[in-house]
Structure 1
Amino acid sequence: MATTVSMGSLFTNPSYNMGFNTSALASHMLPHTTDTYWNAFGEISKQNIQLNYFERLWAAWYAFMGNDVLATGIMSFVMHEVVYFGRSLPWMIIDRIPAFNKYKIQNQKIPSAKEQWDCAKLVLISHFTVELPQIWFFHPMAQYVGMSTSVPFPSIWSMAYQIAIFFVLEDTWHYWMHRALHWGPLYKNIHKIHHQYSAPFGLAAEYASPIEVMILGLGTVFSPLLYCAITKDMHILTMYIWIMLRLFQAIDAHSGYEFPWSLHHFLPFWAGADHHDVHHEKFIGNYSSSFRWWDLALDTENSPEAMKRRREQRLAKARKAQ
């Protein structure tokens, strides 16, 4: 029988740890064990008790699909849609609750149901026509740089420090590309659509032209790919967690709400909604995505404190010139 050899060797063999060989599970299983996902899960669970529940769920998915490109593509796209609209939904509900209006930064501009629906339609079109093809081609790129899909999963610590690096890299890319998109012709032909809403709301985080989605998305996708190409030490699960956190950050930054418990009160260098909302209202400054340091270092911070500082500097310069 083909399955008398434990599939555990597929998880411990180093040749599987750094490559996309998870679909090899299917070829080591009896044909009848892969006719449903849960049969694949049961077979893997019996022969790999050292794996935790989520690792068995993961391995069973790749074994059941038998095609890594399909397995990764479907999982990536579904994850993106569930996280994006799932995280946007609470902000849509909050917009309809008057008690939260006092926390709305531009509280005279509450998005209507029609605005929310029109935004959702364009975002969905963008997801299926622009992001879906990119997600489909992600697996070959990840395979090329040596990103792993194998189990067991990496440690929480290794994923945490890698994601911290991705936040820094993406923020740098986002600052410079976003600032470039505010240059006349690029703003008029590409970025202007994202500024349709001067008072942003969560669902509008990815309301943008296809070109902008690709330009700014490069920082999110290629930061992990570059890291993996250099280190040869990254799991695709880390990529998924990074994408989820980046989506949370982008949606929350567009939420338009400033709470006493907002993250920037505890991490002063964090950008957040108060930082990005001003960008949409004033159409200039505050170009960073996650952190404030690029805006502070290059004097593009748009805040009452920054404007006061610039006024004082101009006055001081004028007094010296007299």
Structure 2
Amino acid sequence: MIYHDYSLFTNGTTFADAYSNFAQLPQLNVLEKIWGAYYYYMGNDVFATGLLFFSVHEFMYFFRCLPWAIIDRIPYFNKYKIQETKLPSNQEQWECLKSVLTSHFLVEAFPCWFFHPVCKKLGISFEVPFPSWTTICFHLAVFFVLEDAWHYWFHRGLHYGVFYKYIHKQHHRYAAPFGLTAEYAHPIEVMLLGFGTVGIPIVWCMLTGSLHLFTVCLWITLRLFQAVDSHSGYEFPWSLHHFLPFWAGADHHDEHHHYFIGSYSSSFRWWDAVLNTEAGPAGKAKREQKMKLRAEMAQKKQI
């Protein structure tokens, strides 16, 4: 049950009828009423969750990709392009779109449609009301930090030997990434790195017993926005990392595509900074500076 008490509800056949039932519950906010009405109207929780997850993923991904595809065709924005001479052609955009859609429908759709039984098994709630916004924001922050760690180590691992040659090389087809390339990858990579997005909330719920499906939807939305933006290929004066220095952003990930190694993190810069794996000339200069300082300190100790 999406709500614990249906005694005041009336029968209806439309979504509007379902919403009117939840509209009479003053303790619920608008989002909770829409969420409750959706599940009540669908009448099949497995189908409702599958459709919700797949629709959220498709809409949010392409909704966020569309502005970058438009910007790529407006000369004014070329000055903000990180690799300014490498704009994706219409053919490249089209080929990437076909590959991404194939992956979405043949690889990612299946787990979406069977996610609700997992929720029931693990105790991921889908009922209304939602948790407090404090709890939701805490969970989102935890997921961002944990996913970034997962992404760093497994992404770095995909750059070794056969893993790169047979799996990760596909994602590096475009040395100058653009929005659509965020999920342009080998199916094994999609599942492996995708576990950081979907698997971490599942493991979190297994350990804590506290998670709501609405939080998972928000998390997937934010993660998609981050992934697409980091592949956009544009650096603006208002880009988020100018205000949050530890945020990775497009300039960080563009270096990874440009030089093929280094800058392995997804959302934050700290793993690459601490482990000296920042890509590009700036990263090389930092490593050389650190080596120079260590050499000077060692020389002082000998004296």
Q: One fold, TM greater than 0.5?
A: yes
Greater mean deviation of Cα atoms: 68-77 or 51-60:
51-60
Counterpart residue number, 1:141: 118
* Superposition TM-score, scaled by structure 1 size: 0.87
Shift of 1:305: 3.0
In the alignment, the residues of structure 1 paired with residue 5 and residue 93 of structure 2 have an alpha-carbon distance, to the nearest angstrom, of: 44
Shift of 1:242: 0.6
| Residue 22 (structure 2) pairs with residue 44 (structure 1) | yes
In the alignment, the residues of structure 2 paired with residue 314 and residue 55 of structure 1 have an alpha-carbon distance, to the nearest angstrom, of: 55
Greater mean deviation of Cα atoms: 94-103 or 311-320:
311-320
Q: Can you list the C-alpha shifts for 1:148-167, whole angstroms capped at 9, x where unaligned?
A: 11111222211111100000
Shift of 1:70: 0.5
Counterpart residue number, 1:286: 263
Shift of 1:309: 2.9
In the alignment, the residues of structure 1 paired with residue 290 and residue 128 of structure 2 have an alpha-carbon distance, to the nearest angstrom, of: 57
Cα contact 2:256–2:263 (8 A) shared by 1: yes
For structure 2, the 5+ residue unaligned runs are none
Q: How many residues align?
A: 298
Q: Counterpart of 2:14 in structure 1: which amino acid?
A: T
Q: Counterpart of 1:168 in structure 2: which amino acid?
A: V
Distance change (3 Å), C-alpha of 1:84 and 1:204: same
Q: Counterpart of 2:118 in structure 1: which amino acid?
A: M
For structure 1, the 5+ residue unaligned runs are 1-20
Cα contact 1:24–1:63 (8 A) shared by 2: no
Q: Counterpart of 1:131 in structure 2: which amino acid?
A: E
Shift of 1:43: 2.5
Counterpart residue number, 2:45: 68
Q: Counterpart of 1:290 in structure 2: which amino acid?
A: S
In the alignment, the residues of structure 2 paired with residue 167 and residue 149 of structure 1 have an alpha-carbon distance, to the nearest angstrom, of: 21
In the alignment, the residues of structure 2 paired with residue 315 and residue 163 of structure 1 have an alpha-carbon distance, to the nearest angstrom, of: 39
Give the match's secondary structure for 1:200.
coil
Of the candidates 161, 166, 178, which is equivalent to residue 138 of structure 2? Answer: 161
Equivalent positions of 1:15-30 (< 5 A) are 21-22=1-2
Distance change (3 Å), C-alpha of 1:25 and 1:178: farther
Cα contact 1:220–1:243 (8 A) shared by 2: yes
Distance change (3 Å), C-alpha of 1:23 and 1:70: farther
Shift of 1:232: 1.5
Cα contact 1:40–1:60 (8 A) shared by 2: yes
Greater mean deviation of Cα atoms: 137-146 or 123-132:
137-146
Cα contact 2:3–2:127 (8 A) shared by 1: no
Greater mean deviation of Cα atoms: 151-160 or 66-75:
151-160
In the alignment, the residues of structure 2 paired with residue 205 and residue 244 of structure 1 have an alpha-carbon distance, to the nearest angstrom, of: 14
Q: Counterpart of 1:81 in structure 2: which amino acid?
A: E
Cα contact 1:23–1:65 (8 A) shared by 2: no
Cα contact 1:25–1:63 (8 A) shared by 2: no
Give the match's secondary structure for 1:309.
helix
* Superposition TM-score, scaled by structure 2 size: 0.92
Q: Can you list the C-alpha shifts for 1:170-202, whole angstroms capped at 9, x where unaligned?
A: 000000110111011011111110001000001
Of the candidates 71, 78, 83, which is equivalent to residue 60 of structure 2? Answer: 83
Counterpart residue number, 2:69: 92
Counterpart residue number, 2:103: 126
Q: Can you list the C-alpha shifts for 1:222-273, whole angstroms capped at 9, x where unaligned?
A: 1111111222121111111111000000000000001111111111111110
Q: Can you list the C-alpha shifts for 1:263-318, whole angstroms capped at 9, x where unaligned?
A: 11111111110000010010000000001111111111114332113334556788
Distance change (3 Å), C-alpha of 1:293 and 1:36: same
Give the match's secondary structure for 2:17.
helix
In the alignment, the residues of structure 1 paired with residue 177 and residue 100 of structure 2 have an alpha-carbon distance, to the nearest angstrom, of: 14
Distance change (3 Å), C-alpha of 1:317 and 1:242: closer
In the alignment, the residues of structure 1 paired with residue 261 and residue 129 of structure 2 have an alpha-carbon distance, to the nearest angstrom, of: 46
Shift of 1:53: 2.1
Cα contact 1:145–1:232 (8 A) shared by 2: yes
Q: Counterpart of 1:268 in structure 2: which amino acid?
A: P
Cα RMSD of the aligned pairs, angstroms, is: 2.1
In the alignment, the residues of structure 2 paired with residue 223 and residue 102 of structure 1 have an alpha-carbon distance, to the nearest angstrom, of: 38
In the alignment, the residues of structure 1 paired with residue 294 and residue 128 of structure 2 have an alpha-carbon distance, to the nearest angstrom, of: 62
Q: Counterpart of 2:18 in structure 1: which amino acid?
A: A
Give the match's secondary structure for 1:279.
helix
Equivalent positions of 1:269-284 (< 5 A) are 269-284=246-261
Distance change (3 Å), C-alpha of 1:53 and 1:23: closer
Equivalent positions of 1:170-319 (< 5 A) are 170-312=147-289
Shift of 1:137: 2.1
Distance change (3 Å), C-alpha of 1:230 and 1:314: closer
